[in-house]
Amino acid sequence: MKKLIAQGAESKLFLVKDNVIKNRFKKNYRIKEIDEKLRKFRTKREAKVLQKLEAINFPSPKLIENDEKENLEIEYIKGKLLKDILEKNNYVELSKEIGEKIAILHNNNIIHGDLTTSNMVFNKKVYFIDYGLSLFSHKIEDRAVDLHLLKEALESKHYKIWEKCYKAVLEVYEKKAVNGKEVLKRLKVVESRGRYKRKH
C-alpha cells in the first residue's frame, strides 16, 4: 500500500511499509532531455550523500535502493518533526545538538542545503532528513550559507525563541567545526548581504 505523505517542488514522498519512496517527478516546462538529466543527477547525488552519512554513522535515513533515474527508496525515520516540538522542550539543549550535527556534516564536506526544523525529526535524538538540495563542498561560503538558511528558518518558524536557539547552535558549531571561526566570520558577511537585499 503506497501512501503519499509529502510533496515538495521537486518530489513526492510515498510511505511503503517502513520505507519512503522519493520520486522526482517530471517537470513539463523543462526540455525533456534536460529534465531527465537533472533528475538523474540530483537523485544520484542525494544517494551518494546518504551513503556517506551511513558510512560516518550520522543520524539520518539509510538508503535502501536507488534506481539512478528518479526514485530513491530510503528508511522512514519515526518520531516527531522538530518544528512541532522545539518550543515545548528544552530548546537550548536541542539547539546545541543541532549545532554539533551541522559541524559533523560540514567536517565531512556535506552541505545540507535546507536546514529547517521541518527537516529534523526527534526520536531520542535529532535526525536530519531530506537531502534533496544537499551537495559535497569544502567551501567556507557554502557552510556559512547553510547556517544562514537555518537562521532564517528559525526566525520565521520559531520567532519567540529563535535568538536563543541560534546562539546555542553557533556556540557549539564554532567549537566542533574544523573551520568554525572562519565560517562564523564569513556568516557575518552573508548576513550583511541578506540585510542589504532586504533594504533594496
- pLDDT per residue as tens digits for the range 34-70: 999 999 999 999 999 999 999 999 999 999 999 878 8
CATH class of 2-75: alpha beta
Q: What is the mean pLDDT of the chain?
A: 93
pTM: 0.91
Say yes or no: domain 80-199 is CATH 1.10.510.10. yes
Active site residues: 114
Model confidence pLDDT, tens digit, residues 68-118: 788 999 999 999 999 999 998 899 999 999 999 999 999 999 999 999 999
The CA-atom distances, in angstroms, between 174 and each of 107, 137, 154, 192 are: 12, 18, 18, 19
pLDDT of residue 194: 66
Nearest alpha-carbon partner for 98 in 109, 76, 83? 83
Q: What are the structural domain ranges in the chain?
A: 2-75, 80-199
